Amino acid sequence: MIELGGVSKSYGAVPALDGIDVTFGTGQVCMLLGPSGCGKSTLLKLVNRLLRPDAGTIRVDGRDIGELEPETLRRGMGYAIQGVGLFPHMKVAENIGIVPGILGWPRARIRDRVAELLELVGLPADYAAKYPREMSGGEAQRVGVARALAADPAILLMDEPFGALDPVNRQRLQQEFMGIQRRLRKTVVFVTHDIGEAVRMADKLVLMGKGTILTEGPPLEIAGRAELVAKAFLGSGFVLELLEKYTVLDHRHLLVPAEGCPPGTGRVEARTATLKDALSAMLLAGRDCVEVDLDGVPYRLRFEDLTRAFAGNTL
Amino acid sequence: MATETRRRPWLKEPLLLGLLAFSVFDFPRLAALLSPLIGEGKPSVEWAPLPVLAGQHIGVVLLSSTASFLVAFSLGAASHLYGLKGLQELLLNVGSFGESFPTAAVIALAVPALGYGFEPLLLALFLYGLLPVLMNTIQGLTGLDRDVVQAAEGMGLTRVQRLLRVELPLAAPMILAGVRTAVIINIAAASIGSVVGAGGLGMPIVSGIRTFDPVLILKGTIPIALLALLADSLFRRAERRLDRRVRSATPA
Ligand SMILES: Nc1ncnc2c1ncn2[C@@H]1O[C@H](COP(=O)(O)OP(=O)(O)OP(=O)(O)O)[C@@H](O)[C@H]1O
Ligand SMILES: [Mg+2]
């Protein structure tokens, strides 16, 4: 767990963060979202001690990071820097393997790890022998992500790690990342400008304004605070992204018995269909409800109940 | 996108080396070839054969440049390692002040202390070689891409690991360029050695000036010029090779 208490930081006379209180829970993905220059990168750099706070304390698993050796602290945290920062004189394999090497992993294990990570981020195995200058920006960025994951750290600090990727690869990497996350349960602090990415990946969403935290919480909960949502430039897309985040099963408390479904109603599978799929089925069939199959038992989801999912935070 | 620099064929350097050997080992024939341009030389006394003088010249440059490199590089790297910005500024200021002293003055001042001969020359050349190496080491290490340096720090590399594994390899072309400057300066400046009895290719030049003999002057000047060109070319080749390896990633 990472806890920031009353943390402030300014660059010279320019304040960048002002009294930040926030907690990033163990095993959770926390997405930091906010306009450019609001202090997201500064916050990450405070957590791995690239910067020291002017005021306040930062604790990792209960220990004040000011009391730890910076190198020890950092080797327990993968860090994907905004703007890639690959070492231009090292091949991809050396870039990815540098921290495992420092930690004393045997060569063969590092080689296997590099191959595994390249596959994970969707790069061909022979990219191991390339230099950063021989890759596109998006490819280099994926190597940056692989490098952050290399030594399997418990904490990941990711500063817009998918920013240079095309939408297809971006979604693919998001899914890969969530796949790893479900298995390994890392503590992730992830900066993004992409609302869809934030909503899809977040266990907890932290919305920042200029140097402050506007609001934080699970995405669905945040949707209930319409006023703040508008203030944080989330826009209407935010709620529609939420529809895609949850399956009908996640909201099975909204289901009602199937009796009374008019003929011609659409039908979805509760385990696989998202709320967006359910809404689409309603729109396609021109009905204000959809039939839901939950493990062979038929139910019904009504539009009026769906609206409750957002207004009332009933998850 | 990095411009695709093809490996340059080894043409210039063997040619320069051949010319250098020709000018040193068979100067009379070179002089005869050039006689339509430079006229006939006067008969003159030789203190030492030209190859010996060239050997002395090269020897003192190698020795002084190596010493300058070791000292200036260590100072530059250490001041960077310990983040001593003040010391760096001081070093650079003292260095450029010292560089503005004429070589002849340094040598003249060194003779009373070190006596006649090889030592005062070595000292003067050593001092002159310090600044370019120091300057390029400090600038090469401080001017690195901030993202790259911060990535290294953020990944948990120690200060020394960062220096050895990231900063020095990336600054290497720049540092090497400083060494090149030092060597070239020293090749030319070593000519002054003849006036303090350190020999070298300055000997025929000084005699030539005394006797108004252009051929004798060229006997020293041509090998010095070829030596400087050869050294320059070799260093630049090495710098290009390092630079190719080090060039930054394509902008994201
Ligand atoms: N090294 C620095 N020196 C001075 N000011 C800085 C420095 N780094 C950041 N700032 C300023 O601090 C503020 C916060 O910067 P930060 O990089 O944390 O923003 P960000 O939220 O990550 O922005 P972006 O989304 O554009 O990456 C900005 O106003 C920025 O100009
Ligand atoms: Mg940023």
Q: Tally the domains of chain A.
A: 2
Phi, psi (degrees; rounded to nearest 5) at A63: -100, 135
Cβ–Cβ contact A50 with B under 8 A: yes
Nearest CA in chain A to B169: A89
Closest atom, ligand 1, to C-alpha of A43: 18
Q: Tally the domains of chain B.
A: 1
For residue A77, what are the β-bridge partners?
A155
Host H or E run for residue B142: helix B118-142
Pick from A223, A244, A265: which residue ends a domain?
A: A244
Do both A104 and A139 map to the same domain? yes
Host H or E run for residue A207: strand A204-209
Average pLDDT over residues B105-134: 87
Q: Is residue B46, in this structure, part of any structural domain at all?
A: no
Q: What CATH number does residue A302 fall under?
A: 3.90.1280
Instruction: DSSP for B36-96, please give it.
Output: HHH-PPPP---SS-HHHHHHHHHHHHHHHHHHHHHHHHHHHHHHHHTT-HHHHHHHHHHHH
Interchain pair B2, A133: CB under 8 A: yes
Give Cβ neighbours of residue A11 (< 8 Å, ≥ 6 apart): none
Closest atom, ligand 1, to C-alpha of A17: 14
Query: Is A18 in contact with A30 (CB distance < 8 Å)?
Result: no
Asked if residue A41 has its Cβ within 6 Å of ligand 1, the reply is yes
Do both A90 and A235 map to the same domain? yes
How does residue A226 score in pLDDT terms, banded at 50, 70 and 90?
A: low
Is the per-residue pLDDT at A309 higher than 80? no
Rounded to the nearest angstrom, the distance between the alpha carbon of A211 and the centre of ligand 1 is: 10
Do both A183 and A95 map to the same domain? yes
Instruction: DSSP for B187-224, please give it.
Output: HHHGGGGGGGT--STHHHHHHHHHTT-HHHHHHHHHHH
Cβ–Cβ contact B5 with A under 8 A: no
Domain that holds residue B213: 59-246
The ipTM is: 0.83
Phi, psi (degrees; rounded to nearest 5) at A269: -100, 120
Q: Is residue B159, in this structure, part of any structural domain at all?
A: yes
Q: How far apart are the C-alpha atoms of A304 and A244, rounded to whole Å?
A: 18
Q: Is residue B232, in this structure, part of any structural domain at all?
A: yes
Counting one residue from A and one from B, how many pairs have CB atoms under 8 Å apart? 87
Do both A224 and A261 map to the same domain? no
Amino acid identity, position A2: I
Residue-level pLDDT at B237: 93
Domain that holds residue A268: 246-311
Number of residues that this document lists for chain B = 252
Interchain pair B246, A135: CB under 8 A: no
Q: How far apart are the C-alpha atoms of B233 and B154, rounded to whole Å?
A: 39
Residue-level pLDDT at B103: 77
Average pLDDT over residues A14-43: 94
Q: How far apart are the C-alpha atoms of A174 and A162, rounded to whole Å?
A: 8
Pick from A212, A244, A276: which residue ends a domain?
A: A244
Higher pLDDT, A33 or B102: A33
Q: What CATH number does residue A44 fall under?
A: 3.40.50.300
A159-171 residue pLDDT tens? 999 988 898 889 8
Residue appearing with tokens 């690959």:
A86
Q: Is residue B193, in this structure, part of any structural domain at all?
A: yes
Average pLDDT over residues A254-282: 87
Q: Is residue B81, in this structure, part of any structural domain at all?
A: yes
Among A52-56, B30-34, B148-152, whose mean pLDDT is lowest? B30-34
pTM of the entire predicted model? 0.85
Do both A205 and A157 map to the same domain? yes
Residue nearest to atom 7 of ligand 1 (CA): A11
Q: Is residue B230, in this structure, part of any structural domain at all?
A: yes
Q: How far apart are the C-alpha atoms of A205 and B85, rounded to whole Å?
A: 42
For residue A209, what are the β-bridge partners?
A212
Report helix, strand or coil for A77. Answer: strand
Q: How close, in Å, is residue B213 to chain A by CA atoms?
A: 53
Do both A228 and A261 map to the same domain? no
Angle of CA points B186, B237, B182, to nearest 5° = 15
Among A138-147, A302-311, B185-194, whose mean pLDDT is lowest? A302-311
Do both A88 and A144 map to the same domain? yes
Is the per-residue pLDDT at A308 higher than 90? no
Q: Is residue B54, in this structure, part of any structural domain at all?
A: no
Q: What CATH number does residue B125 fall under?
A: 1.10.3720.10
Provide the chain B residues 156-185 that lie in CB contact (below 8 A) with chain A.
156-158, 161, 165-166, 169-170
Amino acid identity, position B83: G
Q: Is residue B22, in this structure, part of any structural domain at all?
A: no
Estimate to the nearest angstrom the gap between the alpha carbon of A79 and the chain centroid. Answer: 14
